[in-house]
Every structure is written in structure tokens, then in C-alpha cells.
Amino acid sequence: MTGDGLLVAVDSPVHRIPAQVKLVALFVFVLAVVSTPAAVFWAFGVYAGMLVAAVAVAKVPAPVVSRRLAVETPFIVFALLLPFVATGPQVSVLGLELSQSGVLGAWNVLAKGTLGVIAAILLSATTAPRELLAGLERLRLPATLVAILSFMVRYLSVVSDDLHRMRVARESRGYMGGRVGHLKAVAGGVGALFVRSFERGERVHLAMRSRGYTGRMPLLSVQGASRGQWMHGVAISVVAVVVAVAARMVSS
Amino acid sequence: MSGPAIQVERLVFAYPDGRQALFGVDFTVERGERVALLGPNGAGKTTLVLHLNGILGSVAGGTGSGRIQIGGTGLHREHLGEIRRKVGLVFQDPDDQLFMPTVRDDVAFGPANLGLRGAELDDRVHEALVQVGMQDHADLAPHHLSFGQRRRVAVATVLAMRPEVLVLDEPSSNLDPAARRELADILAGLDVTLLMITHDLPYALQLCERSLLMDDGRIVADGKTRDLLGDAELMRAHRLELPYGFNPHSVPGPER
């Protein structure tokens, strides 16, 4: 196992499920969550319970999950604004007049968003980037897209190193701009970074052609997932679908 | 399967922007020879080696003329695949050469393009990694390796294609002394024809009995590395300098 990307390098039953199974499971799970009516609160409790169990089985530390939840922050801000800007019947909460539909809307965004993000965190924490690519390839994602993603995985660190070096070079020559100033400088440097990356792209292409590349990337994956692995991995999503259907029936 | 490893005759080339880089290059490298390609920056060394496997030049649709033969096979469009297998090119920046998610995938890229699959492919990858001593790092991502390790993996990616000619562009650049020596040990132990661009003149003397000196798109000298490096006038005329205190006549070379 490589300590790579967002992977939490431990061995667990979830880590061992083939990536393509996990990708399908995630997709179905998120669909189920999204199609659940917001007012059926118990359904979200069940989803959350299933995710907590999955995170525990995967041996992903809870602090890691909560730290990575930070990507959700912009949505939380938006969700918290909803009760104040939405119109319609008002309810009074702690002396504040809030829109009833706004509160429900905020809950809807918060609950579904958080569940989806946790599920995605679970996938990224249990699957190495390379496995993820191999999984997408098995799922018949067009080879060109897989190749683009694979180059992104490979060169993200190279480009961010470039960016880091440019920052060090700026500061070494006495640049003081604080956070905002740096953003400005980065915006200016993006052009240079683009040219550098473009030139690197050309050199990489030369290197590929030198080794006999004719337009088809070799396949990353060799074996598929067994029926048992599919059953195992998709079980959580099947339960989620059942919950979603039940919730729909209850609310209608 | 006959003829010299590399035969280049009257090679002329100009870049699409009109800048002429090669003005009639002629040289021959016999099988098993180790040859250093020396010369100042901008002499056309990299341009020349990019011709050897048909990346540049008339065969790739560029402007140029001349004749190139690799191991008796003429460089023509219909032989391009075979030529690219025979000539293994190691680029200067390993980050350009290593583009797959793991070391293993990257070393497998070339042989997979040759049509190898399954166990045969795995064997080939393992063999190449053993040759450069990197077999324990096969599952790592390239960016987790040190620079010297990446350079060695870059050599392995090419060795996996079992080339007849190994062409290296500044193999010792940016390496620390230990990594530089380790790479020299690896290169000295390989049983292939070697053509090596370098500014590292002691490295050329250590590994290559013969050297070609290139300047302004021409081969200006061709001879024993020791003689070339010892010719102060020639060296000065082409902006080449030995490191401080280095005497090419007082160190052992690869001569047997």
C-alpha cells in the first residue's frame, strides 16, 4: 500500500473491495439519499448510522473524516442563509422569525450534502488514486478521460511544487503581501505556470511517443470484481435504496 | 540485424520557425560502443538525439534531409515502431518521462505498447527494475521517490523495451555525488550500445571511451574521450571546460 493522495493506508474489508464496486456503491447511495424527501427525518438517521458503521469498519479515524468535511463549508454557509432569505409562512425559533420552508430547505441541503460528502470521503480514504483510475476504467469510462485523470493525479504534485517554488522565490526577494497579496501574485503567476505546464505536456508527449505510444493507453486493471465482492460492496447502497423507497411511500 | 548500431549521414534539420539546428551531421556508432556527445548549450545535441528515434526530422513531417540507420534498419515511416523499440531515449527531466500513477505502470508502458501482456509483461517490468536496483519500489508513485531514484526508474522504463541503443540526455544532471556514482555503476554494467549527452566531462571520461564533440549543428571532433578532453585549444574553441583541478590524463578511464 502506498501512502498516497487522500488514502488512509490501513487494511480493512472496505479497503479490499475493488474500486469499481465502491464507485457504483457510492453513486447509488448518493442517488438514494438525494431522492429521499427532506421531511422524513428517520431515513436520514438510518443513512447516517450506516455511514458511521462503514467508517468504523473501514478503520478511518473520525478526526480525519471531520477534518475533510471542511470542503463542505461553502454549502453550510449557503444552507444557514436559507431560513433568513426564503419567503412563506414564518416560524419563531429562539426569538428569530424564520421562514418555514427555508428551515426545511436548509436541513435538506445540510443533511444530504453532509451524507454525500462523508460517503465520498470514505471512498477516497479507502481507495488509492491508482485503484480509483483502474476502477473507472473497468466501468468503461472512455480511455481518454481516464488518461486525463491519471495525468492529473501524477502531475498535481509537480505543479503544486512549481507553485510553491514560485512563492518561495517571491518571498526570498522580499515580497510581503499577506494572504490577499499572495492571491494577487498567484493570479499573475498562473499564466507562467500554464506555459510551464503546457511545455511539460509537450515533453511528456515526446517521451510517450518515444516509447511507442500510438494513441492508446495500456490498461491499468487486470482483473474484475467477483460476484461476492459486488454483493458485499453494494449491500450498503441497496439498503439505502430500500430506505429511500420506504421514505417516499411514508411521505406520500 | 547487421550494420552499425547508429549510422547518421548528412543530417540536416530546421525547426518550423526557420531556425536551423543541424547542418549536415555524419557519424557512426558501432555495436557495443559507449559514446559521449559533448558540446555547449544550443549546439543541437538534443535535437540530434530526437532524430534517432524519429521524433523530429523528415520522418515526423519536419523539414530536413539525411539518412539514419539503426542496426541496419533505415529510419522510415513504416519502421517507426521498430526503431522506437531499438532506440531507448531517456529524457533529462524524469518528471517528463514518468507519467503513470505508479513506477510499475510506468515501466510497463513501453512493453505494453509493444504488445506484451500478463505474466510476460510483469517479468519484463521486474527484470528492468532489477537492472536499476529499484524492484522494491514498484508500487510507489513517482513523486514519492528521490530525484536519483526517479532518474533510475526513467532508465528502467526504457530498458524494459530491451533497446539495442540506449540514448541518455544529461544523465548525471541534478544528481548528488552518490546518486551520480550509482547511476554510473548501473550504466557501466549494461550490455547495450550507449550514446550519452553530457556536460559532465569527468562522467564522459569515466563511462565512454569515445566522444563526439558538437557545436553549431555540426560534429566538430570525434575521437578518444581522453584525447578530446586533453586538447586545450579544441576545448576552448567550443566553450568546454574541465572542472577545477581535473586532469584527464591522470585518471583511469573505461579503456581495457
- Helix-, strand-, coil-residue percentages of chain B, each rounded to 5: 40, 25, 35
Select from B85, B144, B161 the Cβ nearest to the Cβ of A2: B144
Whole-number pLDDT of residue A2: 40
A121 domain-assigned: yes
- Rounded-to-integer distance, Cα B193 and Cα B30, Å: 8
Establish if A151 touches chain B: CB-CB under 8 angstroms.
Answer: yes
Question: Is B113 among the domain residues?
Answer: no
Residue A50's CB: how many other CB atoms inside 10 A? 19
Q: Is residue B157 less than 8 Å (CB to CB) from chain A? A: yes
Local structure of B243: helix, strand or coil: coil
Percent of chain A scoring above 90 in pLDDT: 25
Q: For residue B125, tell me if it sits in a domain.
A: no
Task: Mark yes or no for CB contact B96/A129 under 8 Å.
Answer: no
As a whole number, the mean pLDDT across chain A is 85
Same domain for A175 and A53, yes or no, is: no
The pTM of this model reads 0.82
Answer yes or no: do A131 and A230 share one domain.
yes
Domain range enclosing A37: 13-135+224-251
The range of the structural domain enclosing residue B31 comes to: 6-92+164-237
Q: pLDDT tens across A46-103, in order? A: 999 999 999 999 999 999 999 999 888 888 888 888 887 777 777 777 777 777 788 8
Backbone angles phi, psi at B214, to 5 degrees: -120, 140
Q: Mind telling me how many Å the CA of A111 is from chain B's nearest CA?
A: 35
- Among A148, A165, A210, A216, most B C-beta atoms within 10 A, so best to mutate, is A210
Task: Note the pLDDT of residue A21.
Answer: 92
8 Å CB contact of A154 and B84: no
For residues A2 and A200, which has the higher predicted lDDT (pLDDT)? Answer: A200
Contact A220 B101 (CB under 8 A): yes
- The answer to whether residues A125 and A149 belong to one domain is no
The predicted pLDDT at position A1 comes to 35
Q: Is residue A72 part of a domain?
A: yes
Residues A83 and A113 in one domain: yes
Percent with pLDDT over 70 in chain B = 99
Strand order in the sheet with B73-74: B20-29, B6-14, B63-70, B73-74
Whether the CB of B12 is below 8 Å from some CB of chain A: the reply is no
**Phi and psi of B167, rounded to 5°?**
-115, 125
Range in A104-108, A179-183, B150-154 the model is least confident about: A179-183
The answer to whether residue A222 neighbours chain B at the CB level (below 8 Å) is yes
Q: For the segment B44-65, what is each residue's pLDDT rounded down to a tens digit?
A: 999 999 999 888 888 877 788 9
- Residue by residue, DSSP assigns B122-159 as HHHHHHHHHHTT-GGGTTS-GGGS-HHHHHHHHHHHHH
What's the pLDDT at A31?
Answer: 94
Beta-carbon contacts of residue A206 (< 8 Å; ≥ 6 apart): B50, B55, B91, B96
Distance CA B206, CA B112 (A): 34
Strongest mean pLDDT among A159-163, A178-182, B66-70: B66-70
Residues A13-25 have a mean pLDDT of 90
- Residues of chain B with Cβ-Cβ distance to A157 below 8 Å are 143
Is B112 a domain residue? no
For chain A, the domain total comes to 2
Establish if B49 belongs to a structural domain: yes
Residues in chain B within 8 Å Cβ distance of A4: 141, 144
Contacts across the A-B interface (CB distance below 8 Å): 86
At residue B211, does pLDDT exceed 50? Answer: yes
Check if the beta carbon of residue B152 is closer than 8 Å to that of residue B182: yes
CA dist list (Å): B64 to A228, B13, B19, B51, B79: 60, 4, 12, 10, 18
Structurally, chain B folds into a number of domains equal to 1
Whether A208 contacts chain B with CB within 8 A: yes
A221: confidence class by pLDDT, cuts 50, 70, 90: low
Judged by CB atoms closer than 8 Å, whether chains meet at B102 and A2 is answered as: yes
Contacts of B114 (CB under 8 A, 6+ apart): A212, B85, B161
Q: Does A175 lie in the same domain as A63? A: no
Q: Is residue B244 part of a domain?
A: no
- Chain B nearest-CA residue for A160: B143
The pLDDT tens digits for B167-177 are 999 999 999 99
What's the pLDDT at B123?
95
Chain B partners of A218 at a C-beta cutoff of 8 Å? Answer: 105, 108-109, 112-113
Tell me whether residue A21 is in a domain.
yes
A100 shares its domain with A186: no
Nearest to B110 among A1, A151, A212 (CB): A212
Q: Is-contact B129 B189, C-beta < 8 A?
A: no
* Domain CATH code at residue B32: 3.40.50.300
Handedness of CA B110, A200, B172, B224 (dihedral sign): positive
Distance from CA of A186 to the nearest CA of B (A): 23
ipTM: 0.81
Cβ atoms B89, B158 nearer than 8 A: yes
Whether residue A152 is found in the same domain as residue A67: no
pLDDT for A25? 93
CA-nearest of B115, B94, B118, B92 to B106 is: B94
CB contact under 8 A, A211 and B102: no
Residue A171 contacts B, CB cutoff 8 Å: no
pLDDT at residue number B169 = 94
Rounded to the nearest 5°, which phi and psi values hold at B216?
50, 40
